[in-house]
């Protein structure tokens, strides 16, 4: 099955920059789901968490600013004020930045379990928070 998994090199530069920006702000448990075979509205979900409202907003700000400097503005940003779940829509990928409670509640990894998980290098995956660990 490993031959079918998309490699990190297949993620485009914008997605790698977004993951790097999240990692800069100490994002927790970053995951990329490949939805190309099961969804028509986007190709990838990128999911990460912050420990609190301020960190969730800081992660989101860093992603938006990094990609804006690279010439790619988000088509849509939702949920910024409450910072439980911030959605950053870039068309071919959607970056979800959660606080721990909301991530656990909405559980996008389970909801989209038919997707393929993209293996990320440790420096982009972020620290693992034991309360967010999922069983494979």
Q: Are 55 and 66 in contact (CB under 8 A)?
A: no
Residue pair 65/35 in contact (Cβ under 8 Å)? The answer is no
pTM for this prediction: 0.86
pLDDT of 8 higher than 90: no
As a whole number of Å, the end-to-end CA separation of the chain is: 14
Rounded to an integer, the average pLDDT of 104-117 is: 95
Question: 24-54 in b/e burial notation, b at 16+ Cβ within 10 A?
Answer: ebebbbbbbbbbeeebeebbbbbbbbbeeee
Instruction: Give the mean pLDDT of the chain.
Output: 89
| Span 94-100, average pLDDT | 97
Q: Band the pLDDT of 121: cuts 50, 70, 90.
A: confident
């Amino acid at each position: 099955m490993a031959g079918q998994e998309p490699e990190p090199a297949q993620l485009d530069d914008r997605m790698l920059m977004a993951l790097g920006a999240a990692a800069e702000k100490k994002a927790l448990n970053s995951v990329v789901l490949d939805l190309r075979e099961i969804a028509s509205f986007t190709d990838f979900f990128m999911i990460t968490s912050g420990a609190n409202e301020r960190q969730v907003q800081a992660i989101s700000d860093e992603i938006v600013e990094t990609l804006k400097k690279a010439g790619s503005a988000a088509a849509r940003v939702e949920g910024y004020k409450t910072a439980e779940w911030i959605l950053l829509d870039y068309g071919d990928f959607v970056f979800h930045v959660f606080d721990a409670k909301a991530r656990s509640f909405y559980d996008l990894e389970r909801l989209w379990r038919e997707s393929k998980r993209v293996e990320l290098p440790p420096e982009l995956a972020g620290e693992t928070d034991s309360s967010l660990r999922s069983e494979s």
